Chain A
Amino acid sequence: SQQGEEDPQALSIQEGENATMNCSYKTSINNLQWYRQNSGRGLVHLILIRSNEREKHSGRLRVTLDTSKKSSSLLITASRAADTASYFCATVDSGAGSYQLTFGKGTKLSVIP
């Protein structure tokens, strides 16, 4: 079954605004990752945050992780039209020797120029 639940399912914002997406998961994790998928394309890795980390930055991206609440958030600052895509969180369970990712259903972000 799917691990993560992203919220909201869809988000529409104006260019220049910030976009925040949330992810909740169910099990104990080794790490949590965020991916972007442009329409009809493969997934692109954005950022990985380990279970002992609380916040991580990469360019305009900021990810937080709260393991006590089993939740994560992805913030995209100063959004651009090119950020329009679906965003997925995915988790690697603790002790998962296969390092397999379990995905949520994604948030569809539309950035209006």
Chain B
Amino acid sequence: NAGVTQTPKFRVLKTGQSMTLLCAQDMNHEYMYWYRQDPGMGLRLIHYSVGEGTTAKGEVPDGYNVSRLKKQNFLLGLESAAPSQTSVYFCASSNQGSYTFGSGTRLTVV
């Protein structure tokens, strides 16, 4: 009954460092998404995937890369972190209806 699991939950990076955020879903959903949420804002779409092996850019893709090698996993990578990427990151999956969200990763870039 896990739903969508994000790891890690918290991370502090130095400017220029790289990291990968992992999202795993156990609902056999085709669609997966990465969003970021900044204070006082709704969620903004970074990248998404409509199936295994496919990815596409969302509203704010710059500075991020993604991969969907397995249907259940969607990885978000930051190659060279910048302070502007300090945010809370949410992964979600969908069956073309409602979404299921993970609990978020709070990332701070110093």
Interface residues of A (CB under 8 A from B): 1-2, 4, 33, 35, 41-45, 48, 88, 90, 97-106
Contacts and interface: CB of A to CB of B under 8 A. Distances in A.
| Interface-centre pick from A44, A45, A88, A100 (highest chain B CB count, 10 A) | A100
Kindly state the interface size class of chain B when it binds its partner. 20 to 34
B59 A42 contact: no
Interface of B: 31, 33, 35, 40-45, 48, 50, 56, 58-59, 90, 92, 94, 96-104
Given A42-B103, A42-B104, A99 B44 contact: no
Contacts of A43: 43, 90, 92, 99, 101
Contacts of B56: 98
Contact of B44 (A33, A35, A41, A103): A103
A48 B97 contact: yes
A103 B42 contact: yes
A44 B35 CA distance: 15
B32 to A, nearest CB: 10
7 contacts: A1-B59, A43-B101, A90-B42, A97-B50, A98-B50, A101-B33, A101-B45
Given A88-B43, A100-B45, A103-B35, 6 more contacts: A4-B42, A33-B98, A43-B99, A45-B99, A98-B56, A102-B45
A104 B59 CA distance: 14
A48 B43 CA distance: 17
Nearest to B104: A42
B102 A42 contact: yes
Contacts of A101: 33, 43, 45, 92, 99
Nearest to B41: A105
A99 B98 contact: no
A4 B48 CA distance: 20
B33 A100 contact: yes
